[in-house]
Amino acid sequence: MMLNFVFSFLLAFYGGDIEVVVHRGANFLAPENTVASALVALEKGATWIEVDVRISKDSVMYNLHDETLDRTTDGKGLLRDVLSAEIDKLDAGKWFSPAFEGIRVPRISEMLDTLKGKASIFFDVKRGTPIAPLVQLVREKGYEYDSFFWFADPQMLQEFIRLAPEMKIKVNAHDINSLKKWQEVCTPVYVETAPENITEEFRSYCHANGIRIMAAIQNGNEEAYLKAIAVCPDLVNLDRPELWEQVISEQKEP
């Protein structure tokens, strides 16, 4: 009973301000990284959609998590080795359910057009993606101030900083010292970390430096979501917005 009271207290004074970022969209309800999974996520309360940026053989950017087409489409091989004309014909939905047969691998431009005015974007930019065309596309679609970016490749990050100084960067850090190392490289506006790393000291340091905290709870369950709520992040990055919505609703009940 005391635990429920604590969660109710946190939700009353903070929980409504936690923004929901969806990792691969609402991928328990629709095929991951598709327009369908993004739109369902918005229906379930998400305000941020993560997109995984990969490039085809002819330099078209797509939203696909894996390097290969094998797992989530009826295609084969590395996406970077396939022409866009072929990728656009692939089925990216029937592996998930017959109800989604015919859904395509979305181009990044399609994702941005669909979500404009509906959601902010977290760009997970995969290795090998050319930075200049991505920056140009983001600006053309009006997302330069309504997004943030993460790069696993440090050289890509440096190029991005040079080409897009106005755009926001996310880093991954498990404590203040690791975050300080990133601050020597860039000016992060977001930091992603596990909920157990979000101490009062970490939160105070982040907020004093203009950095918002995103709790990483991908593949999480109800218990993981409750633990995330307890440490009061600014955002959560998760796979199941429908479960998060349920947990929030249950904890608000008297």
Q: How far is CA 58 from CA 48, 55, 139, in A?
A: 29, 8, 21
Instruction: Write the pLDDT tens digit of every residue in 195-233.
Output: 999 999 999 999 999 999 999 999 889 999 999 999 999
Number of domain units in the chain: 1
Contact 135, 169 (CB under 8 A): no
pLDDT at residue 99 in the model = 97
User: Residue 30: pLDDT band by 50, 70, 90 thresholds?
Assistant: very high
Angular region, 123: left φ>0, alpha ψ -120 to 50, beta rest:
beta
pLDDT at residue 10 in the model = 53
Burial of residue 203 (CB within 10 Å: 0-12, 13-18, 19+) is middle
User: Residue 12: pLDDT band by 50, 70, 90 thresholds?
Assistant: very low
CA-nearest of 124, 123, 167 to 144 is 167
Range of the domain at 69: 2-252
**Using only C-alpha atoms, what is the Rg of the chain?**
19
Mean pLDDT, to the nearest integer, of 87-101? 98
> How many CB atoms are closer than 10 A to CB 246?
14
**For position 26, which CATH number holds?**
3.20.20.190
Output the DSSP codes for 69-117. STTTSS--SBGGGS-HHHHTTS-SSTTT-GGGTT--PPBHHHHHHHHTT
Across the chain, mean pLDDT equals 94
- 38-52, 87-101, 118-132, 240-254: which range is least confident on average? 240-254
Instruction: Write the pLDDT tens digit of every residue in 113-137.
Output: 999 999 999 999 999 999 999 999 9
Higher-scoring residue by pLDDT: 17, 6 = 17
Q: How far is 154 from 215, CA to CA, in rounded Å?
A: 22
Burial of residue 12 (CB within 10 Å: 0-12, 13-18, 19+) is exposed
Percent of the chain with pLDDT over 90: 90
Q: How far is 135 from 138, CA to CA, in rounded Å?
A: 5
In the predicted structure, residue 77 carries a pLDDT above the cut 90: yes
Instruction: Write the pLDDT tens digit of every residue in 146-162.
Output: 999 999 999 999 999 99
